[in-house]
Structure 1
């Protein structure tokens, strides 16, 4: 039976993006630009951050637990990161323990010099590769799947560092966008399906790579283009070269980047995230209308969809839930009673607005359902006459194996319950989700179920790559995924 956990905050019931990456070549104080870029990508990972720079002779690294602010806004730290090239990473762990040894960029001294890598994504055959490498004598220093890439590069017999990286990546499965810093140049690469995003920009003569366009905006850089799926770019003193070394495949970028992960002010795959989220709300209004007094977003991620729902339906948009942005995750009190009350430190009902009204809540997703239970009850406690709920994504029925921190399938509410049972569980007057076809329409596409244009596996169970590690570690789970599709 699924139950709410009084120790969870409302943030504990969201899918977590895995990482954000940023790299720059050819700028004075490169590490300073990386720190600013990582600030803009902080939403992609709040567990840890790291920067590695290269000054033409030596590599310099600083990695720390916690946010970019507090770690990389200190002169004593930044002075130790000289050079005109640097890469950085913000982390939310999806593989490997929460420990400093797993904080990226990971760095190693290889046969032809230093090698630092920052990775956004997840390798679905990392454990199998790791066992093979261990048998060959590799000694791992972390529990991160990213270190597998380093060992594959180190043991490759290819001629150049770039060729060795290509050789390594041809052995991995899953999702990756990479920034790699070597003595020969800065390399950026996106997996053949383009599951995870990666963009390229320019600032004067400097070349930049980042997970999202907002990281370019914050340093005043201009957006050049998205890296193509399967593209590898190397930039150094000789200029910029682009390679497409992998077998061509139909692109499957992650659809959840538009639903939740990316910042609303980013442009992902040529499309405004904010506009897509408004479109989702409008589609949701057409698919699941309801007669209410107010449209209320669950902040902050539900706001653009709620605006779209309001504009399409003509129902007034109001901030019926107020979020405090000044409460950190570390605010934990010793008693269960105070912990439970602590939920209201981050989200509180705007009671004067809500009292006596019928409302529709707009949220981006339902994962375990604990957030929805608390939000609906909060609205009822504030005096709402009716509380309806509309979700700006289809039911999340399947776990992600490409770098998004999702619960195992048994803990996903939509995998265990019908929509009506979910409605009863969260105690809403009605509950509806946007359809998978409606989500594609919001992206300006007609969905082709026989040739999906996106990775939508969390909704459909249609995984675009093999799940080797899952199949080997839990054959029953792997078969269950196939059977459930």
Structure 2
């Protein structure tokens, strides 16, 4: 039942969700408290997954893992962290896009094989995991979870390569989809990205020690410096011999998930040399250039709409107002069946300020509309306190197609833009007008040093064949 309510609660807030965050550290000087640094790194990545978290440490070749359901701060305390000593560590926070929200699906995984112990943490989604899983089960493999990560672990264990690094390399060459992986053997920390570079992964340094993480905001938290992004198709190996990297696969056209810039990544992270907050601010400016609406104020839907609303206000000259308050202390809510109670649940989290909105023409700025539920309820609330006109402006194109690479939209019928045109969406959410940022405007707003982007959720152009008819799930 908890799983049911959790999924309902996500739909209430009507946001895309990403799958996971990963972190790893190799302490060559032997002086770092790797468990506490991993804890801090996972805390910085908490926005990427709130369902489970775990840390695995390597103490002189002995690997130990602790993981549980819930938030990082609720899982780990001083006593648990003091038991996790070692020279290497990796950590994971999870949001389930595939598989249930169960402890069996929490990461990192720790597996034993004839090649040695191996711990794995994975961010992304494999499009051929079902096929590989079926083949492995036909050969007698027993799975203990529904994770793509376990598929990778079994490929490593069954590889004909005796050396574990070669076995990992061979396994990555067999999987397809989006993945950023951090792994730990008895003597090495390993990080790798898929050949298309869908998911982020960066390399940093703290003194003589190396760190890898899904986002660079973790480096700021632990006092590390960014070295560079790990490249698509690249594997980085860190051990007592230093750091080594090579390309395990031919690089493909770079198709980085554009939603990292739109919503997923923390605003203080750097991707491809571009600060995420500044990119979102430029999206707002571009949105203002593409719109022609008279209004009294620009109001963000907190908190994801704030950077774009600031940029929109700067470009348009329409005053910026924080006209909707977000209660940051409200956690998960258990949704009741009536519309009245659903509206009240939204109001617990987002409450409009009457004195700012009454008798005003307002432009509400948000980063995306997925199902349309929250936009409809917010507009209803804003009208109920006397707004004269309510115009909705979205700093991304319409999300009309499912994502199979690690977001929680696998069915097109869940997406309002997959069922209605812009006019129909406008009528559904009750706005006076609805405006989306063009795809060209979005990409022009992101100055990411030659990155290419996956825009399949906007245009249906999938870079990797999924084996799924993208129109089959419309009905």
- TM-score (norm. length: structure 2): 0.94
| 1:10 positional shift | 7.1
Name 2:3's counterpart in structure 1.
Answer: none
2:35 corresponds, among 31, 37, 40, to: 31
Name 2:420's counterpart in structure 1.
Answer: 417
Closer, same or farther: CA 16–238 of 1 in aligned 2, 3 Å = same
| 1:334 positional shift | 6.7
1:436-458 Cα distance to aligned partner (Å, 9 max, x none)? 000011014899xxxx9211110
Measured in 2, the distance between the counterparts of 1:143 and 1:407 equals: 16
Between 1:34-43 and 1:407-416, the stretch displaced more is 407-416
Measured in 2, the distance between the counterparts of 1:428 and 1:444 equals: 32
Measured in 2, the distance between the counterparts of 1:356 and 1:285 equals: 22
- Partner-residue secondary structure (3-state), 2:222: coil
Q: Is residue 13 of structure 2 the alignment partner of residue 12 of structure 1? A: yes
- Partner-residue secondary structure (3-state), 1:61: strand
CA contact (8 A) 2:274 2:448 kept: no
1:170-197 Cα distance to aligned partner (Å, 9 max, x none)? 1111000000011130000011111100
Measured in 2, the distance between the counterparts of 1:326 and 1:286 equals: 36
Name 1:467's counterpart in structure 2.
Answer: 466
Measured in 2, the distance between the counterparts of 1:205 and 1:114 equals: 25
CA contact (8 A) 2:273 2:448 kept: no
CA contact (8 A) 1:115 1:180 kept: yes
1:167 corresponds, among 170, 182, 186, to: 170
Q: Is residue 270 of structure 2 the alignment partner of residue 273 of structure 1? A: no
Name 1:473's counterpart in structure 2.
Answer: none
2:382 corresponds, among 371, 379, 392, to: 379
Q: Is residue 440 of structure 2 the alignment partner of residue 441 of structure 1? A: no
Name 1:3's counterpart in structure 2.
Answer: none
Alignment of 1:304-343 (within 5 A): 304-329=307-332, 331-332=333-334, 336=338, 338=341, 340-343=343-346
- Partner-residue secondary structure (3-state), 1:343: helix
Q: Which blocks of at least 5 consecutive residues in structure 2 are unaligned?
A: 1-7
1:139 corresponds, among 139, 142, 149, to: 142
Measured in 2, the distance between the counterparts of 1:18 and 1:307 equals: 28
CA contact (8 A) 1:289 1:313 kept: no
Closer, same or farther: CA 373–339 of 1 in aligned 2, 3 Å = closer
Closer, same or farther: CA 112–307 of 1 in aligned 2, 3 Å = same
| 1:342 positional shift | 2.4
Measured in 2, the distance between the counterparts of 1:138 and 1:413 equals: 40
Q: How many residues align?
A: 463
- Partner-residue secondary structure (3-state), 1:398: coil
Q: Is residue 371 of structure 2 the alignment partner of residue 368 of structure 1? A: yes
Measured in 2, the distance between the counterparts of 1:335 and 1:459 equals: 31
CA contact (8 A) 1:60 1:80 kept: no
Name 2:4's counterpart in structure 1.
Answer: none
Closer, same or farther: CA 333–153 of 1 in aligned 2, 3 Å = closer
- TM-score (norm. length: structure 1): 0.92
Q: Is residue 210 of structure 2 the alignment partner of residue 207 of structure 1? A: yes
Between 1:247-256 and 1:196-205, the stretch displaced more is 247-256
CA contact (8 A) 1:178 1:188 kept: yes
Q: Is residue 47 of structure 2 the alignment partner of residue 43 of structure 1? A: yes
Measured in 2, the distance between the counterparts of 1:453 and 1:283 equals: 19
- Partner-residue secondary structure (3-state), 1:332: coil
